[in-house]
Amino acid sequence: MTGTSHPLLQLKRVSKRYPGVLALQDVDFDLGVGELHVVVGENGAGKSTLIKSIAGATFPDQGEILFDGSPVQQLSVARRKALGIHVIYQELSLIPTMSVMQNIFLGNELTRGPGLGTQFRVRDIGGMRQFCLDLLKRLRIDIDPEKRVADLPVAQKQLIEIAKAVGFNARVIVMDEPTTSLGPKEKQRLFELIDELKGRGIGIIFISHIVEDCIALGDRITVLRDGRHVTTLDRGAAGAAKLVQLITGRPISERYPEIKSSPGKLLLEVRNLTSGKLFRDVSFDLHEGEIIGFAGLVGSGRTDLMRAIMGVDPYDSGSITIGGQPLRRYRPRAALQHNIAILTEDRKTQGVLPNLDVMTNIAATAMNLSGSAVGKRVTVGGQITRSGAIMAYAVERIAALNIKAHSPRQKIAHLSGGNQQKALLARALAAGARVLILDEPTKGIDAGAKLEIYDILADLVAKGLSVIVVSSETPEVQAICSRILVMNRGRIAAELKREDASVEKIVTYATQSLQ
């Protein structure tokens, strides 16, 4: 904490209870001027409730929140924004159909006119454009104010959210998981901007599950667990292993446990697969009971390749064979019938069915595949009639994968990211998956849930399932996969055995110029 005799923001013994859940209990927290204070914890640790309490989206049951020495715990979101407290949520609040300028000024439009009442005033388009140009230039953000937000990549949308806060005199900015969807270059630009904001005296609360980012950025790091404040560490006081142990409350010898493979007979063959500029001449094999990884930078073609194998996207040439049978192009249903399943990178929009319960999410694919083992249990003559069987299977899978849900009928949207991912794994298994494609399987998942996912994968591989892991976490693929294929600009630049692979070697192959 720097610069003032009292913290810029301070929480004193804040508690918040929801029905059946004590979300925060006697939590103390403070933020100094120009400080970046990281908050970490597993899903359910209380991070979201802490953010909402600071923003004014919820009011604590007890305790005090002080901003610049004055109590604010009963002020609304709008009142706190006016004071300078801004939150940038993981789900960005920009309106995609509007321009950058319109989003920055939404609800705060500049007007001009004689000042005799709102009916005599008009929006000052020129003034707002000039304000945006000056603001973006000051923050070194190279984006046209007239550009439609829908046409911007995620990284630039986050920069616009930050500009929107800074433009209206933010003194505290809360960033909720800001690096989850960013590649290395975008992340570095965000970090540079954060340093600039700190230099302007803005206090930043940084919520993240990425331990390396926390250690690199945090002036201080606060750990929450089960709604309680565990500890606050100064910069450099904890390495990755100690921080993970504090987060989970359990001793962890390895963040990325080795998953042993015992490859059996050849199952999946991909030969010379090509799709325009997305990927070219890609060939690889996958055996029963094997887990292999695809590493590379964002945009290297890994996800495009997996979508083509699954039949979601077309490809120009090459072949895919499973169990000696050719797989027909452009047919996701054909892939499912050949027992190939995929968990996509974006589980929120391409995975879970958010308005449906856990039970239905688990059985969703199997109910449409009457030939699968689970499909036979829940259908008669192709019609879904056995709701009791669906419930029974869901209960089995919830227990087997340790999915934390109040009930199989709980909406899946109310589950944490890790539990949603385990439900999607249960869906793939219900569909009879023999080949499981996992695109960024631990993205947005806390340390404890990651270990649970790894344990599930180890068990599946031991039972003879074949797994392909696509991950931007280089240490993850290096540790859990028996072979690593490194993609670079749409091609496989290297294939490495686990014992021959190192993080440095993988990164080198992923970034080098190809001949």
Which stretches of 33-84 are assigned E, i.e. beta strand?
36-40, 62-67, 70-71
| Neighbouring residues of 16: CB distance < 8 A, sequence distance ≥ 6 | 22, 23, 24, 49, 53, 58, 60, 61
* Contact of 53 with 60, CB cutoff 8 Å: yes
CA atoms of 188 and 304, how far apart (whole Å): 25
Q: Which two tokens stand for residue 172?
A: 């505290």
Instruction: Please write the tens of the pLDDT for every residue from 64-109.
Output: 999 999 999 899 999 999 999 999 887 778 898 999 999 988 877 7
CA atoms of 515 and 513, how far apart (whole Å): 7
| Neighbouring residues of 205: CB distance < 8 A, sequence distance ≥ 6 | 9, 31, 37, 38, 39, 51, 54, 172, 173, 174, 175
CA atoms of 322 and 434, how far apart (whole Å): 10
pLDDT confidence of residue 418: 86
CA atoms of 301 and 510, how far apart (whole Å): 11
Q: Which two tokens stand for residue 254?
A: 């390895």
CA atoms of 37 and 222, how far apart (whole Å): 7
Q: Which two tokens stand for residue 425?
A: 């794994």
CA atoms of 298 and 345, how far apart (whole Å): 12
pLDDT confidence of residue 116: 46
CA atoms of 438 and 221, how far apart (whole Å): 31
* Residue reference for tokens 């991070």: 47
Q: Strand 9-18: give its sheet, edge to edge.
A: 21-31, 9-18, 62-67, 70-71
pLDDT confidence of residue 203: 96
pLDDT confidence of residue 141: 86
Which burial class, exposed, middle or buried, applies to 170 when counting CB atoms under 10 A from its CB (0-12, 13-18, 19+)? buried
Instruction: Please write the tens of the pLDDT for every residue from 290-313.
Output: 999 999 877 789 999 999 999 989
Domain range annotation of the chain: 25-95+154-248, 254-339+434-515, 357-427
CA atoms of 175 and 54, how far apart (whole Å): 12
Q: pLDDT in tens for each of the 515 residues of the chain?
A: 444 457 999 999 999 988 767 889 999 999 999 999 999 987 678 898 999 999 999 999 999 999 999 999 899 999 999 999 999 887 778 898 999 999 988 877 766 666 545 555 567 788 888 989 988 888 888 899 999 999 988 888 888 888 888 888 899 999 988 887 676 777 888 898 899 999 999 999 999 877 888 898 999 999 998 899 999 999 888 787 788 788 877 654 556 788 888 899 999 999 999 999 899 999 999 999 999 999 987 778 999 999 999 998 989 999 999 999 988 776 788 888 888 999 988 887 788 888 888 998 898 887 766 555 555 555 555 555 556 777 888 888 899 998 988 888 899 988 888 889 999 999 998 888 899 999 999 887 877 788 889 999 999 999 999 999 999 888 889 889 999 999 998 999 999 999 998 888 888 888 776 55
Which element (helix H / strand E) includes 125? Answer: helix 125-138
Instruction: Please write the tens of the pLDDT for every residue from 417-462.
Output: 888 999 999 999 888 889 999 999 988 787 778 888 999 999 999 9
- Paired sense of beta strands 203-207 and 36-40, if any: parallel
CATH fold match for the domains 25-95+154-248 and 254-339+434-515 = yes
CATH of domain 25-95+154-248: 3.40.50.300
Q: Which CATH class is domain 254-339+434-515?
A: alpha beta
* Contact of 497 with 466, CB cutoff 8 Å: no
Name the nearest CA neighbour of 292 among 435, 482, 488: 482
